[in-house]
Every structure is written in C-alpha cells, then in structure tokens.
Amino acid sequence: MFGLGGAPQPSSQQKLSAAEAELDMVTGMFNQLVEQCHSKCINKDYYEGDVNKAEALCLDRCVSKYFETNVKVGEDMQKLGQSGQFMGRK
Amino acid sequence: MFGLGGAPQPSSQQKLSAAEAELDMVTGMFNQLVEQCHSKCINKDYYEGDVNKAEALCLDRCVSKYFETNVKVGEDMQKLGQSGQFMGRK
Amino acid sequence: MFGLGGAPQPSSQQKLSAAEAELDMVTGMFNQLVEQCHSKCINKDYYEGDVNKAEALCLDRCVSKYFETNVKVGEDMQKLGQSGQFMGRK
Amino acid sequence: MDQLNVKEQQEFQQIVEQKQMKDFMRLYSNLVSRCFEDCVNDFTSANLTTKESGCISKCSEKFLKHSERVGQRFQEQNALLMQNLQKQ
Amino acid sequence: MDQLNVKEQQEFQQIVEQKQMKDFMRLYSNLVSRCFEDCVNDFTSANLTTKESGCISKCSEKFLKHSERVGQRFQEQNALLMQNLQKQ
Amino acid sequence: MDQLNVKEQQEFQQIVEQKQMKDFMRLYSNLVSRCFEDCVNDFTSANLTTKESGCISKCSEKFLKHSERVGQRFQEQNALLMQNLQKQ
C-alpha cells in the first residue's frame, strides 16, 4: 500500500511475508477506521438499527479525513527522518 | 463452537487451521468477558485483594448475560443475513 | 526475560518458539509502557512537537515505576501461587 | 507489493482465506463485546431484560450497517490513493 | 469442529501449549499494565510509594481471583451451550 | 532464554526482522489512529482544517520523540534487571 518492499531478488517466502504484512496493515487500518468513525459519528443510544442521514454524512467525511491524516502522517514521518530530528526507534 | 467448518473433505492443514481459529475465538471471547465483567462489577479502589460477595454475585450474572448476548447477536446476524438487509462486509 | 524455558532437551522448534514468545512479551511490555506513560505524562493539547522538560522528567520516573511494578507483580504472583490461594487459571 | 507469480498467488490466496475466517470471528466477538458494553448495565438478574435485548439488536444491526458504509468509502478512497501513487 | 485424527490431535495439542505460554505472558503483562494504570499516579519520585505498592498487590490478587471465578462460570455456561447445540 | 546455536540464531534473526516490519506498520497505523482521535473532531467538511493539520504534525512528532525517550529508558532498566537476575 505504501510502496514497501525492496531487496533486488527476494525469495518466495520473503515476498509472501511482505504481502501478508501489507494485508495485515490494510486490514488493521480498516479496523481502526471503523472504530474511530464509530466513536466520532454514531449515536450510542440505539433508538434505531439504521445509520441515519446525519450519521452517514459524518461517516463519509470521517473516512475522507482519516485517509488525509494517513497521508499526512506518512509525509511528516519522512520529513522528520530526513531532517535527522528523529533517529529511529530501534 | 458455532458449528463452523464446511468443505466435504478438508485437508489436515485446513482442519488444524479451523481448530486453531476456533480456539482463538473461544480464548478471545473469554478475554473480552474477563475485561467486560471486570469493568462492570469490580470496585477499583482495591481496599481488599478478595472479590467480595456483591462483586461475586455481579460476576456470575455478568457471565450469564454475556453468553445470552453472544447467542442473541448470532441469531440477529443470521436474520439480517437472510433478510438480505446486510450484504456482507467483503 | 523472566527465566522461562524448561524441559531438559528442547527441540529447535521449541527453543525458537520460546525465544519468539519471549520477544513478543518484551515487545508487548514495551508497547504497553509507551501507552501508559503517554497517557500519564504527555499533554494532549499539542502546542508543540517537542517533549518538554516536565514531560521528560515524568517519563523517566514513569518507566522506572513501571519496571518496579513489573517486578512486584511477578513476586506477588509467586507468593499467591505458593500459598495455594490461587489455583491457576487453566 | 512485489509481483507474485501464480504459485505464490495461490499460497497468498490461502493466507487471505484463513485471515477472512479470523476476521469474521473477530467481528463477531467484537460485536458481542461492544453491544454488551453499551446495552447491559443491570446486574440485578441473570437474564437480559426486554430493553437490553432490544438495544443489543439495534446495536449489532447498526454496527454492521456502519461498517458496511465505512467499507465502501474505504475502497473508494483506497482506489483513489492507488491512482495517485501510480501517477507519481 | 471437524473431527481430528490422532496425529492431528497431537499437532493441535502442540499449538494449544504454545498458545498457553503466550496466554500466560499476556495475562502477566496485562496485569502489570492494569494495576499500574489504576494504582500509580504520582510522578514526583522514581520509586513506588508504600500506598502504590499495597494497591498493586491487591489489584493483582483481585484480578486473578476475578478471572478464576469468571473462568469457572465460563466453563459451566460453555458446557450448557454445547449441550443445547447438540440437542438441536 | 535457552541457548540457541548458530543456525537457530539465524532463523531467529529472520523472525525478528519480520516482526520489526510488522512493528513499524503497527507504529504507523497507531500514530494515524491516535492523532486522528486527538486532533480531528470537526465533520462539517471532508477535508482537514489548517488547525487539525498542524495538530496532527505536532502529535506525531511528539509521539515519536516520546517513544524514543521511553525506549532509551526501557533499555537501561532492562539492562539493570538482567544484571540483577544474573547476580541471584
């Protein structure tokens, strides 16, 4: 999803591991998105089983802003890495 | 636990994977139950190391209600699936 | 980390599994430490991108107290195990 | 993602299927936990009250519809993101 | 669950044992995290106070007794559920 | 930890590298989730406001610096703990 991957001739095992890690990240991101937008947009009184119009509109914007946040965090991390301000966690 | 499984002649690997997934689900459910009932029933002032009588009674009912909730959610999901109101997540 | 391991002649697979479980525990503990000390010490108004002096001091003490808690919980569990007050979860 | 050959794609497909089973189980048990948390707060009896039972039904229906909608938007945004990455 | 043959049962038993080790470690680190969260709130020194230390002991003892009781009820309810499923 | 021989150490190194990739991805998506939670609360438009955008930058920078500091202290304390265990 973010152009990960790298060594010139990776083995089958490495490619599968990378693909699996990528799938896990996309799934993980989706799950966090579902949680965050539920907590930001959904009324927890449960008068109704439907997602109402106001909630639906909020959800659409929530997903859009979440993706923008995702891209922004990626850009910020790159800048921090290049500026040498952050040395890497390990 | 919920009668999962399926294809007529599954391989050893598939059967083990299914058994492992089932074990993970039961364990996961137990862990969530422990969390939920702790947050609903246990006084966090920690005057004492014992679970007192009121807490113990609350815990017993909490587990019972959690199982009932589990069965109810399963039934509701089946109904929603059959009525075609919910299309499946993927 | 806590002197786990055991059977006289473990197989390669068992040794790797144990080492992996140990790594997972240390990583898991580190992640929980990061969460806990963030919630105890870091101001979430985000006026600044830096960790200020008061926050840094709080973090250092937080890590120290977390390790002390870790050791204490280990000792308490051993005492409870020996006194037979707690039968083991499984 | 590095390109996978046919054999690798098949193996990957198996991994995906195993994960989908786990995902479904996770969805299910999270649904139970979430709706229990939001709807059940009376421990004077060992059985669900009518009110709690109704709340649980609406809670799970609403969560499923919620995650369906979020899933649709997620796919759209993901497709957009992929397009933009390929233009670069 | 599909029926497992003897060899499969042995393999499954190994998986179960590995998971139990992980479960124990998870229990342990969750206990540390939970009791730290509930008991430690004073960061004017780098060592636990007597009060915090006592709170941590009671917190972990109580959580272990709590999860033991929940575990007993869980097994009872699970057995009941299995019986009901087999009657159907 | 039981002693690992050279071959086992190599296998273990591979496991460690795979986990580091996963750890990085987890850090990344947790950063997104945390900063979204703390900074984004206005859903009258589909785009981030200037204020939200600034908040997100500071939030991620601060979290990375925070976890770097915690990591340093963690290693020091861990080394101390290991020394004490070996003395016993």
The pLDDT mean for chain C works out to 84
Count CA within 13 A, CB hemisphere, residue F81. 20
- Distance (Å, rounded) from C-alpha E61 to C-alpha E53? 13
> E touches which chains (3+ CB pairs under 8 A)?
B, C
pLDDT at D42: 96
Q: Is the pLDDT of residue D63 over 70?
A: yes
Residues of A in contact with D12 (CB under 8 A): 16, 19-20
pLDDT at F19: 85
Each residue's pLDDT tens digit, B16-36 = 888 888 888 889 999 999 999
The pLDDT mean for chain B works out to 84
ipTM of the shown complex:
0.85
Instruction: Tell me how crowded residue D5 is: count the other CB atoms within 10 A of its CB.
Output: 9
Q: State the total domains in chain B.
A: 1
- Distance (Å, rounded) from C-alpha F74 to C-alpha C59? 11
pLDDT at C62: 98
Q: Suggest the residue from B27, B71, B72, B78 to mutate for an interface test with chain D (most D CBs closer than 10 A).
A: B72
Please judge whether C51 and F1 are an interchain contact, meaning their C-beta atoms are less than 8 angstroms apart.
Answer: no
Whether residue A16 is contained in a domain is answered as no
- Whether the Cβ atoms of residue A30 and residue D74 lie closer than 8 Å to each other: yes
- Distance (Å, rounded) from C-alpha C77 to C-alpha C75? 5
- Distance (Å, rounded) from C-alpha A29 to C-alpha A34? 9
* CA nearest to D24 within chain B: B89
The pLDDT mean for chain E works out to 90
Task: Please name the residue that has the structure tokens 């200037």.
Answer: F50
Task: Give A10→chain D minimum CA distance, Å.
Answer: 9
Q: Is the pLDDT of residue B64 over 60?
A: yes
Q: Is the pLDDT of residue C87 over 50?
A: yes
pLDDT at D5: 85
> F touches which chains (3+ CB pairs under 8 A)?
A, C
- Kindly report the pTM of this predicted structure: 0.85
Which residues of chain A have a pLDDT value below 50?
Answer: 1-7, 88-90
Q: Is the pLDDT of residue C90 over 80?
A: no
Amino acid residing at F26 = R
D18 touches chain B (CB under 8 A): yes
Burial letters C8-31, b for 16+ CB under 10 A, else e? eeeeeebbbbbbbbbbbbebbbbb
D65 → closest Cβ in B21, B65, B86:
B86
| Chains F and B: 3 or more CB pairs within 8 Å of each other | no
What kind of architecture, by CATH, is found in domain F9-40+48-87? Answer: Orthogonal Bundle (1.10)
Mean pLDDT value across residues B13-18: 80
Which residues in chain E (24-53) have CB-CB distances under 8 A to chain B? 38-39
Mean pLDDT value across residues C75-90: 73
pLDDT at A3: 45
CATH code for the domain in which residue C32 is found: 1.10.287.810
pLDDT at F52: 97
Residues of E in contact with B78 (CB under 8 A): none
Q: Suggest the residue from F3, F11, F72, F74 to mutate for an interface test with chain C (most C CBs closer than 10 A).
A: F74
Q: Is the pLDDT of residue D21 over 50?
A: yes
The residue among E21, F10, F32, F75 whose CA lies nearest residue C24 is: E21
Whether residue B7 is contained in a domain is answered as no
Which residues of chain E have a pLDDT value below 70?
Answer: 1-2, 88
Spans of all domains in chain D: 9-40+48-87
* CA nearest to F12 within chain C: C16
Mean pLDDT value across residues B37-58: 96
Whether residue C63 is contained in a domain is answered as yes
Q: Where are the beta strands (DSSP E) in chain B?
A: none
F62 touches chain A (CB under 8 A): no
Contacts made by residues B21-27, CB under 8 angstroms, sequence distance 24+: B21/D18, B21/D21, B21/D22, B21/D25, B22/E1, B23/E15, B23/E16, B23/E19, B24/D22, B24/D25, B24/E19, B25/B1, B25/D25, B25/D28, B25/D29, B26/B1, B26/E78, B27/E19, B27/E23
pLDDT at D36: 98
Higher-scoring residue by pLDDT: B89, B27? B27
Q: Is the pLDDT of residue F61 over 90?
A: yes
**In terms of residue numbers, what domain contains B77?**
21-87
Element (H, E) at E3: none
Please judge whether C49 and F57 are an interchain contact, meaning their C-beta atoms are less than 8 angstroms apart.
Answer: yes
DSSP E44: S
Percent of chain E with pLDDT over 90: 57
Count CA within 13 A, CB hemisphere, residue C79. 10
- Whether the Cβ atoms of residue B23 and residue E16 lie closer than 8 Å to each other: yes
Q: How does residue B86 score in pLDDT terms, banded at 50, 70 and 90?
A: low
